Amino acid sequence: MSTRKREKVKSTPFSDFIRYASTSEKEMFFEKIRDLAIEDQRQVIAQAEGLKDKKRK
């Protein structure tokens, strides 16, 4: 094991949230993140489909 002491780092709002939020608060947060990511992916797919359709013409 290392004998060096770990350097303390400043807490961030996100790390505080992860540490202190309830399970249900975290669930709601990550569901929102998931939904936003899914919507972004759908937009990218729709753009790609549009480009593919343009190439066919």
1-57 pLDDT, tens digit per residue, is 567 888 888 999 999 999 999 999 999 999 999 999 999 999 999 999 988 777 766
The rounded distance, in Å, linking the Cα atoms of 27 and 10 is 25
- pTM of the complete model: 0.65
Q: Classify 17 in phi/psi space as left (phi over 0), alpha (psi -120 to 50) or beta.
A: alpha
Q: Are the beta carbons of 25 and 33 closer than 8 angstroms?
A: no
DSSP states along 5-16 = PPPP----HHHH
Q: Where are the alpha helices (DSSP H) in the chain?
A: 13-20, 23-56
Domains in the chain: boundaries: 23-56
